[in-house]
Amino acid sequence: MPYHPEIGLIERLAIKWGFLPDTRQQAAEDDYRTRREDGTLVNFPPVEKWEEWVEYDPQAWPKKPVPRHYALVPTICFNCEAACGLLAYIDKGTQTIRKFEGNPLHPGSRGRNCAKGPATINQVTDPERILYPLKRQGPRGSGQWERVTWDHVLDDIGGCIRKAIQEGRQNEIMYHVGRPGHERYMDRVLQAWGVDGHNSHTNICSSGARMGYQIWQGYDRPSPDHANARFILLLSAHLEAGHYFNPHAQRIIDGKMAGAKIAVLDPRLSNTASMADYWLPTQPGSEAAVLLAMAKIILDENLYDRAFLRRWVNWEAYLKADWPDLEPTFNNFISALKQVYAEFTPEFAARESGVDTALIVEVARQAGRAGSRLATHNWRGAGSGNLGGWQVARALHLLNVLTGSVGTQGGTSPNAWNKFQPQFWENPPAQKFWNELSFPLEYPFGCYEMSFLLPHFLKEGRGKLDVYFTRVYNPVWTNPDGFTWMEVLRDESKVGLHIALTPTWSETAFFADYVLPTGHSPERHDLQSQETHAGVWLSFRQPVLREYLRRQGKEVEFTHQANPGEVWEEDEFWIELSWRIDPDGSLGIRRHFESPYRPGEKLKIEEYYRWIFENAVPGLPEKAAEEGLSPLEYMRRYGAFQIPRDTYRRHERHLSPQELAGSETDPQTGTISKDGKAIGVMIDGVTVEGFASPSRKQEFYSSTLVAWGWPEYRLPGYIKSHVHPENLDVAKGEMVLVPTFRLPTLIHTRSGNAKWLNEISHRNPVWLHTSDACRLGVQTGDLLRVTTNIGYFVNHVWVTESIKPGVVACSHHLGRWRRQQDQGSRWSTGVVNIEEDNGRWRLRQVQGLSPFPSTDPDSSRIWWSDSGVHQNLTFPVHPDPISGMHCWHQKVKVEKAHSEDRYGDVIVDTAQSHAIYKEWLAKTRPAPGPAGLRRPLWFTRPVRPAPEMFFVNNSTPES
């Protein structure tokens, strides 16, 4: 049936008089429109039309419709970790990318994106982006650059790395990644070089939560099944900004539409809290107390899952260790549990948190009654803000354990069950180095590298870096204590050659020796798989213009030949660099970068992905064959694949006879081991896979923490935060600063060159409760001075009821800057003067945003002048002694600005920041642990070294 759009009288008259074109007939005749045969609307261009898709040019309106012909090429968004699918609309006339919309075939994002997805086009077309490799001229940080060739870059860096390897200085080579991606690609590169050089941003992001999950079950992340939950308990803001937030937000709303209730613990009325059924505005750091009170209610009211607890918790080990005189029966375990948590009454939790007792009880009952359909999530926020934040995640997971909602439909699974990891045709050997600049002895449990302590380690002379890559990483701006980073980065005796791999200028790239333009999301290859829901998927990032040219029969050798300027992709860069490091193969590096299809010849990037798709993705070859495609062609065309795999109750999977062959079963614990590694557990006479902990059970009792000298933390518990009210002097105006929340429309430093996003969000005022505003005598828009332990910043105040009294909050997504001598990102950076006097630093804004001429007419239309305030500079490092997480929350003094203060001022004393680093370092209990280990062998570790490297003397006890 043809489609006849309804139009109003005025529109009909306008058409009649020729003011508007009559598109009705065109619409009816046009088979390219997003309509089915019966005229009903569809959400996305049908996939069979992706090769030839026509839309009318909206910019031609109100003239006669101008059809634009597009090829739609899938890729992946890179603006946060969720890895949502994108479709690039490539204009066949101009052979350029016109826009990005969602990829409906992507199983995680299902065609939907947040504002940052479509804004990828801003990043691609940014007239200020870096288009050519640049080399420093003059002193480091002086802002003088010259264009060089990729050949020059590869020879120079390759020569430095080769020399370091030949001289046994492998630990002086470091690759420091901000936004990862590359499922295992870089692990492979670094292991091929034989270096322990991986460093990441994780300890300023999620290590607190990771430790809490790791110690329970050996998996360091949760994967909640929100869509099928009965109750959703969040210590996060997932409807607007949490980890994997767009895919999670969709499923949270799916669950809500199906009747699930939502509770949110957050001192701030986030968008998520505002949509919840229950908002618990907790005092920052009190969350574990509230969760343990909920656990007590679930126990006292018999809402727990006896069968799950009996089968899957290591309660026998707990009774044996802590209650040796008790008969080891399950009932005695429950009695012991009730005793342990007796002190966590709802009244106690209410006193700690400031949340109503009745509300805590109500939410606890709802969580308990949800049974196996309790979905929970805790990521940054409480887990990353507080000393002992890892116990928040551990206490939250206790609720899943009590309710038997681990690995269930509607419950919360280990992340690894919903994530795909690629395999390769050959694997370089594990490196025989352990880099103590990343994994120092003081932090044996540090979930990831102690990345934010690197400048302090360098200052102390623990080592130096000869070749230091920062990849889409901006520690000067993102990390705490950025001035200490500046001090170290400008010191060539500490950092020899700094290479910034980045699509755009950043505060860190200003202090590089090479700035190498690497591609935005649609300008490179990559694999991504994230645990966004109960399912496993793999998606394929591809350089869309290169793929478009290939479809036209115009193959290019390197991606930079298809990208703007000479923007390259890392994948090819690392292959070429590895060949320059080892041109004759004598170092044994080159062979890892040879083709699996053409022995001895250099690996081509399509061969790398082709091999994985053909050999390592279950079900993909068969699915592709159904359509007459090769696996690589399938991924190039559709961009994503849902991997068929059962994702629920994997711990109950029976071990096969092959798996059991040669294994041993511990008669006491039932743990099944093979080759010295636990592979399963015998439960009720059945051999099953279990979890990834040493006991293969949920470890309520951690013998690991006991063995490593932390017996007081052997059970899920409550650690009073460094910002606990006992540590504040309220009479002196001290408050808690929550600096961790994301804005939905920005993402750390990666969105700085997205003009649409900066137009929407360009200020980060300090949230202050009305009662505190009254006390201080300030109103919205007034200037506040916020003083931390090492300095202060000056910002506007936003007076609101949406924050807990006594707490202030400020988003970290703003405050980008450049100095007079720097280039870059005038969409988002103000100009600043930075002065230093013997470790006393002052940053002062001298010019806000203003219009500028460029090839993009919008740059002359910038109407906002605010670029926000850079608060992270004023934070000392706060490494949690267990998880290694930087504890972001700050004890601050909040007052009216002084007469000399100006908006955006930042004052810092880096000698004081180093002293505070030492204070926190003294909280640790360093390795070696049992048997001389640096770290528990069963803990995960990125880019895992050879087993003997886990021992302080670099050899296993047997060897």
**84 binds ligand SF4 per the rule CB under 6 A:** yes
- Residue 251: other Cβ atoms inside 10 A: 24
CA atoms 458, 464, 466, 467: torsion sign: negative
Query: ∠ at Cα 543 (542, 547), nearest 5°?
Result: 90
Q: Does 530 bind ligand SF4 (CB under 6 A)?
A: no
Q: Is 578 in the site for ligand SF4 (CB under 6 A)?
A: no
Provide, rounded to whole angstroms, the least separation between the CB of residue 102 and ligand SF4: 8
- Site for ligand SF4 contains 114 (CB under 6 A): yes
Q: Which of 83, 209, 234, 766 binds ligand SF4 (CB under 6 A)?
A: 83
Query: 713 with 941: CB under 8 angstroms?
Result: no
Measured from the CB atom, the residue of 82 and 447 that comes closer to ligand SF4 is 82
Please say which residue, 407 or 752, places its beta carbon nearer to ligand SF4: 752
Nearer to ligand SF4, 742 or 914 (CB): 742
> 901 near 794, Cβ under 8 Å?
yes
Nearest distance from residue 42's CB to ligand SF4, in Å? 21
Considering the complex, state which of residue 80 and residue 738 has its C-beta at the smaller distance from ligand SF4: 80
DSSP letter (8 states) at residue 662: T
- Tell the smallest beta-carbon distance from residue 126 to ligand SF4 (Å): 17
Is residue 506 at the binding interface for ligand SF4, with CB under 6 A as the rule? no
Stretch that binds ligand SF4, among 110-118, 382-390, 533-541, 563-571 (CB under 6 A): 110-118
By CB atoms closer than 10 A (0-12, 13-18, 19+), residue 31 is exposed
Q: Please state the closest distance from residue 360 (CB atom) to ligand SF4, in A.
A: 32
For ligand SF4, the closer CB: 77 or 738: 77
Which range of residues in 79-87, 230-238, 327-335, 830-838 is near ligand SF4 by CB under 6 A? 79-87
Q: Minimum distance between the CB of residue 113 and ligand SF4, rounded to whole angstroms?
A: 4
Position among 72, 73, 80, 794 found at the interface with ligand SF4 (CB under 6 A) = 80
Q: Kindly indicate which of the ranges 37-45, 77-85, 825-833, 916-924 contains the residues binding ligand SF4, using the contact rule CB under 6 A.
A: 77-85
Nearer to ligand SF4, 109 or 431 (CB): 109
Q: How far is the CB of 577 from ligand SF4 (least distance, A)?
A: 28
For residue 936, whether the previous peptide bond is cis, meaning omega lies within 30 degrees of 0, is no
- Nearest distance in Å: CB 76, ligand SF4: 7
**Does position 245 bind ligand SF4 by CB under 6 A?**
yes
Our finding on whether 77 is near ligand SF4 (CB under 6 A) is yes
Element holding 895 (H helix, E strand):
strand 890-896
What residue type is assigned to position 251 of the chain?
R
Tokens for 580? 């320059």
Q: Which of 117, 105, 245 is nearest to 540 (CA)?
A: 105
CA-CA distances (angstroms) from residue 445 to 381, 634, 880?
Answer: 20, 42, 10
What is the C-alpha to C-alpha distance for residues 723 and 804, in angstroms, rounded to an integer?
Answer: 14
Tell me which long-range contacts 587-591 makes (C-beta under 8 A, separation of at least 24): 587/162, 587/165, 587/166, 588/194, 589/192, 589/193, 589/194
Q: How far apart are CA 572 and CA 709, in angstroms?
A: 46
- Distance CA(37)–CA(234), nearest Å, equals 43
Write the Ramachandran bin of 850: left for phi over 0, alpha for psi from -120 to 50, otherwise beta. Answer: beta
Q: Choose between 111 and 328: whose C-beta lies nearer to ligand SF4.
A: 111
Q: Which of residues 126 and 772 has its CB atom nearest to ligand SF4 in the complex?
A: 126
Number of residues this chain uses to bind ligand SF4 (CB under 6 A): 13
Of 75-83, 144-152, 328-336, 707-715, which part binds ligand SF4 (CB under 6 A)?
75-83
Per DSSP, the three-state class of 493 is coil
Nearer to ligand SF4, 204 or 747 (CB): 747
Cβ-based burial of 192 (10 A; exposed 0-12, middle 13-18, buried ≥19): buried
- Residues 124 and 570: their CA atoms lie apart, in Å, by 17
Instruction: Report the nearest approach of ligand SF4 to the CB of residue 117 (Å).
Output: 3
Radius of gyration for the alpha carbons in the chain, expressed in angstroms and rounded: 28
Cβ atoms within 10 A of the Cβ of 345, count? 17
Q: Would you give the binding string for ligand SF4 spanning residues 116-145, x where CB under 6 A is met? A: xx----------------------------
When asked if residue 226 is in the footprint of ligand SF4 (CB under 6 A), the reply is no
Contact, 750 vs 201, CB < 8 A?
no
Q: Which residue has the tokens 């806000």?
A: 848
Nearer Cβ to ligand SF4 (395/747) = 747
Nearer to ligand SF4, 226 or 818 (CB): 226
Q: Are strands 791-800 and 766-769 parallel, antiparallel or unpaired?
A: parallel
Q: How far is the CB of 242 from ligand SF4 (least distance, A)?
A: 10
What gap in Å lies between CA 833 and CA 446, rounded to an integer? Answer: 37
Cβ distance to ligand SF4 smaller for residue 79 or 764? 79
Q: Does 284 bind ligand SF4 (CB under 6 A)?
A: no
From the list 82-90, 563-571, 728-736, 815-823, the region that binds ligand SF4 by CB under 6 A is 82-90
By C-beta, is 174 or 743 nearer to ligand SF4? 743
Nearest distance from C-beta of residue 949 to ligand SF4, angstroms: 35
Do residues 397 and 428 touch, judged by C-beta distance below 8 A?
no
Count CB-CB contacts under 10 A for residue 125. Answer: 17
Residues 246-275, one symbol each (x = binds ligand SF4 by CB under 6 A, - = not), give x-----------------------------
Nearest residue (CB) to ligand SF4, 482 versus 744: 744
CA distances from 782 to 733, 776, 865 (A): 17, 11, 17
Cβ distance to ligand SF4 smaller for residue 291 or 746: 746
In this structure, are residues 364 and 220 in contact, taking their beta carbons and an 8 Å threshold?
no
- Output the six-digit token pair for 23: 């598109």
Q: Which is nearer to ligand SF4, 117 or 517 (CB)?
A: 117
Least separation in angstroms between residue 747's CB and ligand SF4 is 6
The rounded distance, in Å, linking the Cα atoms of 204 and 177 is: 12
Q: How far apart are CA 382 and CA 281, in angstroms?
A: 12
For the bound state, the minimum distance from the C-beta of residue 251 to ligand SF4, rounded and expressed in Å, comes to 13
Residue number, 245 or 708, with CB nearest to ligand SF4:
245
Among 71, 72, 82, 303, which residue interacts with ligand SF4 (rule: CB under 6 A)? 82
Q: How far is the CB of 907 from ligand SF4 (least distance, A)?
A: 34
Helix axes 330-340, 315-322, angle to 10 degrees: 70
**Assigned token pair, 135:** 């080399």
Judged by CB under 6 A, which of 75, 79, 408, 721 binds ligand SF4?
Answer: 79
Enumerate binding residues for ligand SF4 (CB under 6 A). 77, 79-80, 82-84, 109, 113-114, 116-117, 245-246
